[in-house]
Amino acid sequence: MKILDIKAFFKAPFLLAMCIAFIQFACKLDVNQPVEPPPNSWDESLNTHPKGAAFQKLLDEYVKRGLPGVVMFVKSPVGIWNGAAGYAKLETKELMTPTNLHYSDSMAKTYIGTAIMMLVEEGKIELDAKINQFLPRNICDNIGNGNEATLRQLLNHTSGIKDYDEDITFRLDFLNDPFRPIPPEKLLEYIYGESPYFPAGRGHQYSDTNYLLLAMIMDRVLGESHAKFISERIIRHLGLENTYYKNEPAYPKPPGLVNVYVDFRGNGQLTNWSAEQNALYEGILVGSAGFIASSYDYARFLEALFNEELVSQASLDEMTNGFKNSEHGLGLEFCPRSTGCGKAMGHSGGGLGSQSDMYYYPDANTYIVCLTNVGGYVGKVGDLFDEFYYAAEDAVFK
């Protein structure tokens, strides 16, 4: 998830000045409100991985280097480990725990992709059906490729449909009033009349609009909120007690949710972005992001997906076949790593206040989830998380 690619956005000096002024004015929240304890504590006796001490040392190192807080979950044939370091809330020095809840950002796309495949298996939709079979004409006629793109092309980012998140007007509107809800239909208006990146199916370009459209299609096919379907068929089905989307009563502020931060000025001084991040999840992000969960729940979902607890092997084959020609499958990312353990399949996420990774390494039968409560795209602190994840891989596999 690249909501508001601030690094590119700040290239214009007058916009940088405007945004710094906005940050100073708008970031008004009760920083002394305590973080509620996570709903369930992690039993240390469950940490059986022989490299646990090395994992903890790694987390501690990256907190010392600037990450406010970080969580890591590992499950492999030799054991499990779930640990944390740093703070869930800097203002009151409340320690990060393994069960604190974190924003998913684009890891949500794997949940949406899985739900779409469930509907395919039930015969309610077809992957190669055009999206104009499900969405009204006033939407499809106004979107470049709206009458040509298919569901499959939305899923693997080959639709060519423009990304509303890259529209300068959307970015300015959000920064000027981050607490104003923008419903899906209004989000689409930011790209109305825009030419597509390329003809449908003739290229590859990541676009959050693809997953916004998938969520809207699910609503129409189901005749009710896609979030209700996900709650019943994924969250409750798997017993994910620490996972929240749009349908859970405590959303978007469940107990145990961390505060999040941004290194806006690139000097290591972090700005609390919690209120804005929460408003973004509550009133804007649909489909492309929006989940909140613990490290264990993210890993449990991914494990259930690849163990055929949610969809069949045939559907998994469909979801991963795209990796032959693209970095994206259907709701999944394929990430080549330097671990010598083959493909990593899952998804990453990143926004102004949070970053995340959840990946499955089939050749090693290993799952890794890493989460932090500082945003990427801007500032030297945010850049640390990618480095941390690669170091975590090395710690697991080497």
Cα separation, 239 vs 208, whole angstroms: 28
Share of the chain above pLDDT 90, in %: 79
- Count CB atoms within 10 A of the CB of residue 352: 26
Burial of 48 (0-12, 13-18, 19+ CB in 10 A): exposed
Position 6 pLDDT exceeds 60: no
pLDDT of residue 16: 41
pLDDT of residue 380: 81
Share of the chain above pLDDT 70, in %: 88
Q: What would the mean pLDDT of 102-119 be, rounded to a whole number? A: 98
pLDDT digit string (tens) for 293-340? 999 999 999 999 999 999 999 999 999 986 655 689 999 998 766 567
Read off the tokens for 130: 């055009």
Cα separation, 12 vs 192, whole angstroms: 25
Cα separation, 151 vs 319, whole angstroms: 12
Read off the tokens for 87: 């703070």
pLDDT of residue 136: 97
Report the side by side order of strands in the sheet with 94-95. 94-95, 79-89, 69-76, 366-372, 355-361, 344-350, 333-335
- Count CB atoms within 10 A of the CB of residue 101: 28
Position 147 pLDDT exceeds 50: yes
pLDDT-derived band at 377 (thresholds 50, 70, 90) equals confident
pLDDT-derived band at 376 (thresholds 50, 70, 90) equals confident
Position 382 pLDDT exceeds 90: no
Give the residues across from 70 on adjacent strands: 85, 372
pTM of the model: 0.91
What is the secondary structure of 302-333 as a DSSP string? HHHHHTTSSS-HHHHHHHHHGGGTSSB-SS-E
164, 127, 166, 115: which is closest to 143 by C-alpha? Answer: 164
pLDDT digit string (tens) for 207-229? 999 999 999 999 999 999 999 99
pLDDT of residue 26: 42
Q: What would the mean pLDDT of 106-117 be, rounded to a whole number? A: 98
Does residue 54 contact residue 256 with C-beta atoms inside 8 Å? no
For the domain made up of 6-31+46-124+224-397, give the CATH fold. Beta-lactamase (3.40.710)
Read off the tokens for 324: 């032959």
Domain boundaries, the chain: 6-31+46-124+224-397
pLDDT of residue 338: 58
What is the secondary structure of 76-130 as a DSSP string? ETTEEEEEEEEEEETTTTEEP-TT-BEE-GGGHHHHHHHHHHHHHHTTS--TTSB
Position 369 pLDDT exceeds 90: yes
In the chain, the N- to C-terminal Cα span, in Å, equals 29
Q: What would the mean pLDDT of 224-252 be, rounded to a whole number? A: 97
pLDDT digit string (tens) for 27-61? 433 333 444 555 667 888 899 999 999 999 999 99
Give the residues across from 371 on adjacent strands: 71, 356
